[in-house]
Chains A and B, each alone.
Chain A
């Protein structure tokens, strides 16, 4: 049986990990390569890098990070943030990422999903969706709207429509982030997660809101997500990936326990 995946997410700006990430061990906490090695050894099933570098002319720094990560860890990892063109995708994949994730760039130009899938295969193309709960309307029948630019801009696009559209265009996976739950530590947006997971035939990664192992259990079991993205709970060592997996396993969730 397929295991549910636990995926730590690292934000990287100008080649350095952001947020005050705390570690007891002897690790340069600003170095994304060392952080990736740490989580690889801790049993992460995959790692997500999100490049939040503001200026696009500093993009080469991230490509160098990707290259060094690829030499260090031997599990899949994806890179997102500022991906706008097929060339952006190609540089990330050639540098050694398994997958590339596209978010605002796909809203502005949905064709990039199909072009990317055609050029590199669907399994490489992850659609990142930032979603906000809104009043149900004719335009937004699900009551969940796609937002872009870190949640600052509404798009008028229904989240369920967009998920299905992206699958049709050739996305291989969806990383579903609830803007409302993000950073609250009060749990994933379960209604949204199950709505999307039940209505597409590609894997869905739940994102935003993890504060406890119970929250991760709910997203994977109750809301049927295929994977859970985690950030501050592991960065601040609230618990470790091993803790998460042991508890999920004891509650009957299939996870990878040997690495």
Chain B
């Protein structure tokens, strides 16, 4: 069973629908025992970092996640779920979970593309990824695959060791971050057509081992 962590942040149903389409059993839950018992965890999220962390703590789910990470259970973070696993965020100056060393930053303004076009914030729409390190969850992802992004903040890991993939939007930022049994993506896998579903499917079969 896969637990989709429900900490009252954003639309979790779309992740559930995508898993259902792929044929994997899942449950949207905030029940600690249920999460502890599950074989893997998906940690989505839309909204602001400050509120997300406050809600996680209120529900006591921060410790559940930390425990699952330490036990080696495969964990997938999506969007805001990829941000609040770092140590801190510039958004609402939030102290985050600290599963991966580093921080979350706001895109600089003004932001320009390489051909001097003014770029809008949030970064919203389809963009590519450049895979820096091979990862089991990225098997079958092609060089022209694109993914759907919506965000104003990006993750900045403390070391390149955690950098799995990067994306270019005025600056080059980390769009896929990973450490041991934890993998997280800035884009919405559940809204990125078949390339997104492929990564989701890979995650559902991943045993959580990764040697950089």
A3–B191 CB distance below 8 A? no
Q: Using Cβ atoms and an 8 Å threshold, which residues of chain A touch B21?
A: 71, 74
Known: A3-B126, A123-B124, A201-B120. A75 touches B148 (CB 8 A): yes
Q: Assess the B191–A74 pair: CB atoms within 8 A.
A: yes
Binds A, one of B83-91, B96-104, B192-200: B192-200
Chain B, interface SS category: mixed
Q: Which of A47-80 contact B (CB under 8 A)?
A: 70-71, 74-76
Contacting residues, chain B, for A256 (C-beta < 8 A): 126, 146
In the assembled complex, how far is the CB of residue A24 from the closest CB belonging to chain B, in whole angstroms? 23
Contact B127 A2 (CB under 8 A): yes
Q: B13 — which chain A residues lie within 8 A by C-beta?
A: 70, 94, 96
Q: Is the CB of A3 within 8 A of B148?
A: no
Q: How many residues on A have C-beta within 8 angstroms of the other chain's C-beta atoms?
A: 30
- What residues of chain B lie closer than 8 Å to A74, measured between beta carbons? 18, 21, 190-194, 196-197
Distance in angstroms between the alpha carbons of A88 and B116 in the assembled complex: 40
Chain A residues near B126: list those with CB within 8 A. Answer: 2-3, 5, 45, 256
Known: A74-B192, A96-B13, A96-B14. A258 touches B123 (CB 8 A): no
The answer to whether B191 and A76 touch across the interface, beta carbons within 8 angstroms, is yes
Find chain B residues with CB under 8 A from A5 CB.
125-126
Task: Please give, as numbers and ranges, the residues of chain A lying within 8 Å of B20 by CB-CB distance.
Answer: 71
Judge if B207 is at the interface, Cβ distance under 8 Å.
no
The answer to whether residues A45 and B190 also contact, given A74-B18, A123-B150 and a CB cut-off of 8 A, is no
Q: Which of B80-135 contact A (CB under 8 A)?
A: 113-114, 117, 119-128
Mostly, the A contact residues are: loop
Q: Which of B4-23 contact A (CB under 8 A)?
A: 10-11, 13-14, 17-18, 20-21
Closest to B146 in A: A256
A121: Cβ under 8 A from any B Cβ: yes
Instruction: For B193, list chain A residues within 8 Å (CB).
Output: 40, 74-75, 259
Q: Is A141 an interface residue (CB 8 A)?
A: no
- B125, A203: Cβ atoms closer than 8 Å: yes
Q: How far is the CB of A49 from chain B (nearest CB, A)?
A: 16
Tell me the minimal C-beta distance from B13 to chain A in angstroms. Answer: 6
A121–B46 contact, CB under 8 A?
yes
**A73, chain B: closest CB distance, angstroms:** 8
Residue in B11, B127, B192 with the greatest tally of chain A CB atoms within 10 Å? B11
B113 to chain A, nearest CB (A): 6
Within the assembled complex, what's the spacing in Å between the Cα atoms of A70 and B196? Answer: 15
**In A1-23, which residues have CB < 8 Å from any B CB?**
1-3, 5
A189 within 8 A of B: no
Chain B residues, Cβ within 8 Å of A94: 11, 13
Within 8 Å of chain A (Cβ to Cβ): is B34? no
- B121 and A201 contact, CB distance less than 8 A: yes
* A257 located at the interface, meaning its Cβ lies under 8 Å from any Cβ of chain B in the complex: yes
Do the beta carbons of B191 and A257 come within 8 Å of each other?
no
Determine whether B142 belongs to the interface, using a CB cutoff of 8 Å to chain A. yes
16 extra interface residue pairs, beta carbon distance < 8 Å, beyond A1-B169, A74-B21, A74-B196: A2-B169, A3-B126, A5-B125, A70-B14, A71-B20, A74-B193, A75-B148, A75-B193, A76-B148, A76-B191, A123-B122, A173-B124, A224-B117, A226-B125, A257-B144, A258-B142
Shortest Cβ-Cβ A-B pairs, 8 listed:
A258-B144, A3-B126, A256-B146, A256-B126, A123-B150, A259-B193, A2-B125, A2-B127
Query: 23 pairs across A/B with beta carbons < 8 Å?
Result: A1-B168, A1-B169, A2-B119, A2-B125, A2-B127, A70-B14, A74-B18, A74-B197, A76-B188, A93-B11, A94-B11, A96-B11, A96-B14, A98-B14, A121-B46, A123-B150, A172-B124, A201-B121, A202-B120, A203-B124, A224-B117, A227-B125, A259-B195
